Amino acid sequence: MDIKNTLLTSLRQLAKQHTLETLGDRSDYLGASEIGYCPRKVILEKINPSEHDLAALLRFERGHMAEEIIAKVFTAAGFTNFEQQVEIAVDGDVPIKAHIDFVFSSETQRIKSVLEVKSTSSIPDHPYSSWESQLYFQMGALAEQFRGHKIRGALIALDLANGEVEFYNGYAPQKIIFNGLKRKAEAIWSHYQAMLNGNEVELATEPDLLCGFCNHLTTCPRFEAEDVPHLASIVDELQELQLDEQKLKNKIAPCKEKIFAIVRQKGPIKSAGCILRKTTRSRKHLLIDRLEQFLADHGRSIGEFQEDRAFSFLEIKRAKAA
């Protein structure tokens, strides 16, 4: 049994079923989450939906798990004033639907609070712009439908692998942002309809750190040239972070060694609310000399049991001035 193929096939089926049940036919409308992303990616995905790989499908399942965890938590805490997967249709010429993860209502205070759940492999220092765009659109759509209510919003990010959570609170509807997003939606929908009718359209692109997950990256005009200037700020930021990382490593190593020297002599101590002690672990390792001798005695060599395996990494070198 090919377990990976079984996972891939079944998860694809489950993803399509879940999308159909909760979101319907997404080719017939724009979702609030789509408006915050690159227009080119959104349109191409609607026209030629990609077959998601196993990694993407597992991320989708992780997202569903995160939502269910939050729902269980609020239920266990005694909250009964929330709805899940609330669909809001936006008035206008463009068919737009906002699917909100959680809406908490207080009819006595006439408040409706939006909570958007995000599952991620690492918690960002600040919410991604696409997350905030989605939230602002959801709040704007809710404000239009419930004009007599005060609307609030928040994001919660869960890193299920590392057990980390971050809560981004204090959002309120911003009419300027909402109207700007609606104008963007109009442009996306107009270009989408034009392409469906066979017209050539120069699609707008919005490169960001999520470009690496786009199935249309290899044909994106923003990455055609050898020089990609719009990534300069991201590359600069990465290099600064790597420099900071090295500086921290240079500080951490001697600091740890000084404390360890004390613990080696004194034994376990308590400081800063922490227990510091010497810990010893063992790991198995090959005795290469004995292994080579054994193989030689049997007419074999260690080279017969070695192979080259390629691996990939990001290399950054300062380019020479032209």
Position 102 scores a pLDDT of 98
Fold of 3-200: Lambda Exonuclease; Chain A (3.90.320)
Position 35 scores a pLDDT of 93
Residue type, 269: I
Q: Give pLDDT tens digits for 221-278.
A: 887 766 777 778 888 888 888 888 888 888 888 888 888 888 888 888 888 888 889 8
CA atoms lying within 13 Å on the CB side of residue 165: 9
Q: Give pLDDT tens digits for 162-212.
A: 899 999 999 999 999 999 999 999 999 999 999 999 999 999 998 877 787
Q: Which residues pair with residue 89 across a beta bridge?
A: 97
pLDDT over threshold 60, residue 320: no
Residue whose C-alpha is closest to residue 153's, from 18, 32, 21: 32
Residue whose C-alpha is closest to residue 221's, from 44, 16, 101: 44
Position 314 scores a pLDDT of 75
Q: What's this model's pTM, rounded to 2 decimal places?
A: 0.73
Domain residue limits, the chain: 3-200, 234-303
Q: Give pLDDT tens digits for 113-167.
A: 999 999 998 888 889 888 999 999 999 999 999 999 999 999 999 999 889 999 9
| Band (65; pLDDT cuts 50, 70, 90) | very high
Q: Which residue has the higher pLDDT, 223 or 54?
A: 54
Region 15-33 average pLDDT: 88
| Band (52; pLDDT cuts 50, 70, 90) | confident
Question: What H or E segment, with its residue span, contains residue 84?
Answer: strand 82-90
Two tokens, residue 152:
């609030």
User: Phi first, then psi: what are they for 278, rounded to 5°?
Assistant: -80, 130
pLDDT over threshold 90, residue 94: yes
Position 319 scores a pLDDT of 59
pLDDT over threshold 60, residue 321: no
| Band (34; pLDDT cuts 50, 70, 90) | very high
Position 225 scores a pLDDT of 60
CB atoms within 10 A of CB 23: 15
Residue type, 14: L
Percent of the chain beyond pLDDT 70?
97
Two tokens, residue 119:
């599952």
